[in-house]
């Protein structure tokens, strides 16, 4: 497909407001300052949203969203934001978390994990695991069901959701009922067609990815570790059912779809949905991008089908 003219216009606006990381901007703090000035799109209103802290050390700030639907207990989505392990936070992904809380409906716990380069790998992985463990312990008191926890995230956050599920399988931990992986970054060593086809001009670039990797890793050899590049894990059996959402014009498209294929081959129930005509990080722009609203509905329906109220009966 080619980009719809409206999609092209939104892409240009988003690209213009995004820091020129890895080129004109090489300092993480400077990149965050640029991003903090970007106005976020409108999002659904919810009856209750609270900022809390998972007590440390280190403390992990979280933002909890409750859906409008009162009858519970609800599934609980533990959400890890994207941003290359360096950028973004609770505010940048507030709208997307509201879309999930409203659309599933579910309680959503957005996790403000530690960022690189101040806190390199595996700090974010440790925070993600702690957040899921905390959610399992506190789900009932929040109005949620500890049997219906979803590990979710976009881009780098999709990596953390995936890695958390691998870590729980490998070493024990709270049960996760479902993985929701939104255009996830799953292979730091990938040399796949989508990396070359979409290296420039579609918001997330090859230059961005190289810079993010340099900020996140202590040394290049870590890139091959399955808790950095989960697509390189030897065995994907016995993981939670999953949905993988990819975008046609995304350098990460092929690794997400390859992960879905490997999950299926390992006997893990999985849905893979490619959003044609769209680019990385599109899901928060449901009011502006043709096809984004439909993709968001597909995502919410997949979570609802996997961990909906029928599991409570």
- C-alpha to C-alpha distance for 261 and 264, rounded to whole angstroms: 5
Whole-angstrom distance, CA of residue 58 vs CA of residue 81: 18
Distance CA(147)–CA(136), nearest Å, equals 8
- List, in sequence order, every residue forming a beta bridge with 149; answer none if it has no partner: 76
Phi, psi of 76 (to 5 degrees): -125, 120
Whether 59 is a known active-site residue: answer: no
CA dihedral (197, 254, 300, 76) in degrees, to 10, reads -130
Active site residue 273: no
Catalytic residue among 155, 194, 229, 254: 155
280 catalytic per annotation: yes
Total residues found in the chain within this entry: 313
Q: Catalogue the active-site residues.
A: 155, 250, 280
């Amino acid at each position: 497909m080619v980009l719809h003219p409206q999609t092209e216009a939104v892409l240009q606006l988003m690209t213009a407001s995004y820091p020129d990381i890895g080129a004109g901007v090489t300092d993480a703090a400077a990149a965050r300052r640029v991003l903090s000035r970007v106005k976020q799109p409108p999002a659904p209103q919810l009856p209750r949203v609270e900022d809390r802290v998972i007590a440390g050390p280190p403390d992990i700030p979280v933002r909890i969203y409750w859906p409008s639907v009162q009858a519970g207990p609800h599934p609980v989505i533990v959400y890890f934001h994207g941003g290359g392990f360096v950028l973004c936070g609770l505010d940048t992904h507030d709208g997307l978390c509201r879309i999930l809380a409203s659309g599933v409906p579910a309680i959503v716990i957005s996790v403000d994990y530690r960022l690189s380069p101040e806190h390199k790998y595996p700090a974010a992985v440790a925070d993600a695991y702690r957040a899921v463990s905390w959610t399992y312990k506190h789900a009932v008191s929040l109005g949620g069901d500890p049997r219906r926890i979803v590990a979710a995230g976009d881009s780098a956050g999709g990596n953390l959701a995936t890695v958390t599920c691998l870590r729980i399988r490998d070493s024990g931990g709270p049960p996760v009922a479902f993985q929701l992986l939104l255009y996830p970054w799953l292979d730091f060593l990938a040399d796949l067609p989508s990396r070359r086809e979409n290296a420039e001009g579609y918001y997330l670039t090859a230059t961005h990815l190289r810079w993010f990797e340099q900020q996140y890793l202590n040394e290049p050899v870590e890139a091959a570790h399955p808790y950095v590049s989960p697509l390189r894990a030897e065995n994907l059996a016995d993981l939670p059912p999953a949905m993988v959402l990819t975008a046609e014009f995304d350098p990460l498209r092929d690794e997400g779809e390859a992960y879905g294929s490997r999950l299926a081959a390992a006997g893990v129930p999985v849905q893979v949905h490619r959003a044609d005509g769209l680019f990385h990080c599109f899901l928060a722009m449901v009011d502006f991008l043709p096809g984004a609203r439909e993709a968001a509905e597909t995502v919410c329906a997949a979570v609802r089908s996997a961990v909906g109220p029928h599991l409570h009966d």
